[in-house]
Amino acid sequence: MADIAGVFHWTPAAMDDFTIDELMAWRERARQRSGAE
């Protein structure tokens, strides 16, 4: 959640209803956007 929040500027509360699969998909998007390996 911290990776997602840092990249997309979302609060943890905005992600409370995400499933684990959704969180993992958004984390991957955040990783790609940040340029991390």
Judged against a pLDDT cut of 80, whether residue 36 lies above it is answered with no
Contact (Cβ atoms closer than 8 angstroms) between residue 1 and residue 23:
yes
pTM above 0.75, yes or no: yes
Contact (Cβ atoms closer than 8 angstroms) between residue 32 and residue 9:
no
Collapse the DSSP code of 31 into the 3-class scheme (helix H, G, I; strand E, B; otherwise coil) and give the result. helix
Residue 15's nearest CA partner among 7, 5, 6 is 5
Q: Residue 35: what pLDDT?
A: 87
Residue of 18 and 37 predicted with greater confidence? 18
Q: How far apart are CA 29 and CA 7, in angstroms?
A: 9
* Chain segment 12-28, per-residue pLDDT in tens: 999 999 999 999 999 99
Q: Which amino acid belongs to residue 21?
A: D
